[in-house]
Amino acid sequence: MVNLGLTIGNLKFRNPVITASGTFGNGSEFDDFIDISRLGGVVLKGTTLELREGNPYPRMAETASGMLNSVGLQNKGIDYFEREIYPRVSAYDTNVIVNINGSYIEDYVALAERVNRLEKIPAIELNISCPNVKMGGMAFGTNPVTAREVIRAVRAAYSKVLIVKLSPNVTDITEFARISEEEGAESVSLINTLLGMAVDVKSMKPSLSTITGGLSGPAVKPVALRMVWQVANAVRIPVIGIGGIMTANDAIEFMLAGASAVQVGTASFIDPQVSVKIVEGIEKYLADKKFSDVKDITGRINR
Ligand code: SIN
């Protein structure tokens, strides 16, 4: 028997595999494909105080070993979330995490207060790394002063588990991980997408309406892995690794580099069952290697 369970803050996860925000809808889209209770958790699509239409189309483009998105945080806002989505996701037998976003610190705080009151949401992922909005998002998460301010304000407003989602579009991501830890976050998740672009040579126009967008998928994995390793060596709080995880072996690489858990994102667009396959693959790897506990491989490359 292998123990796949872990704890972040006071929150127990049955295994280290979580689905990434924006790639798993609100979970119900996957009901026909997987049993959500097999997952450690799900992070829901980024939520804001008010409804957002998102960016104009085109806002997705395929690239070599990856994809660009510039969705622009399209969502129906927290009122709709509480009324329509929360009752459904409350029934899930897994950790349901809300990814929160804002243009101003006050937005983040108001949203955090609202989500704090939702009994069946045990954690938020504070998104200070969305590269696709004119205000807020990555602008907060690439400046150490504003990153600290927003994390501090949200921490004061939110009493449950706080995970800060970090941007890779910085010189030294460990600085932002340390700030998150100092301001009381229980965990950091990384990486959000890398700022990129693509051009359609036929039309001679950018492939995305916003010209730039966020790159995800296998193309970013080596960069993400390097950043996870750096951050895991810089902070004591658990690290959640994200970035091009397509297989159990990819997830295990992140764990060996120091991640306590992982998020699976772009891969779910290709195979809606991939997250559960990754849980099974990690379990088999541990059994084959004769490890009894998933925690035994976290940061193993350093030992
Ligand atoms: C988006 O909605 O544009 C993506 C969200 C993110 O990258 O955080």
Q: What is the mean pLDDT of each run of 10 residues along the chain (303 residues)?
A: 97 98 94 96 97 98 98 98 97 98 97 98 97 92 97 98 98 98 98 98 98 98 98 98 98 98 98 98 98 98 87
| ∠ Cα 219 223 225 (to 5°) | 110
Closest CA to 38 of 96, 93, 98: 93
| pLDDT (0 to 100) of residue 32 | 94
Terminal alpha carbon distance of the chain? 24
> What token pair was written down for 103?
């243009």
SS3 labels along 147-172: HHHHHHHHHHHCCCEEEEECCCCCCC
Token pair of 292 as six digits: 């009894």
Rounded Cα–Cα distance for residues 246 and 262 (Å): 11
Ligand 1 atom nearest to 74, measured from its CA: 2
Whether the pTM exceeds 0.85: the reply is yes
CA–CA separation, 151 vs 163, rounded Å?
10
Identify the residue whose C-alpha is closest to ligand 1 atom 7: 130
Find the catalytic residue in 2, 4, 115, 130.
130
Looking at residue 153, what is its pLDDT?
98
Instruction: Give every CB contact of residue 51 below 8 A, 6+ residues apart in sequence.
Output: 75, 76, 77, 80
**Tokens encoding 33:** 């494909």
Question: Residue 75: its pLDDT value, please?
Answer: 98
Cβ < 6 Å from ligand 1: which residues? 22, 46, 69-73, 127, 129-130, 132, 192-193, 214
User: Are the beta carbons of 186 and 161 closer than 8 angstroms?
Assistant: yes
Query: Closest ligand 1 atom, CA of 130?
Result: 8
Phi, psi of 180 (to 5 degrees): -60, -45
Q: What is the model's pLDDT at position 157?
A: 98
CB 187 within 8 A of CB 166: no
> How many Å lie between the centroid of ligand 1 and the Cα of residue 47?
10
Is 130 designated active site?
Answer: yes
Q: Are 216 and 265 in contact (CB under 8 A)?
A: yes
Sequence-separated (6 or more) residues with CB below 8 Å from residue 64: 219
- φ, ψ dihedrals at 43, nearest 5°: -105, 125
Q: What's phi and psi for 248, nearest 5 deg?
A: -60, -40
Distance of CA 177 to the CA centre of its chain: 14
In angstroms, rounded to a whole number, what is the distance separating the alpha carbons of residues 66 and 245? 11
Ligand 1 closest atom vs CA 192 = 7
What pLDDT shows up at residue 302?
86
Note the CATH architecture for domain 6-55+67-195+215-302: Alpha-Beta Barrel (3.20)
Please give the radius of gyration of the chain, using alpha carbons only, rounded to the nearest integer. 18
Q: Which residues of 95-107 are buried (b: 16+ CB within 10 A; e: fewer)?
A: bbbbbbbbbebeb
Give the pair of three-digit tokens for residue 178.
């340390």
Confidence (pLDDT) at 139: 93
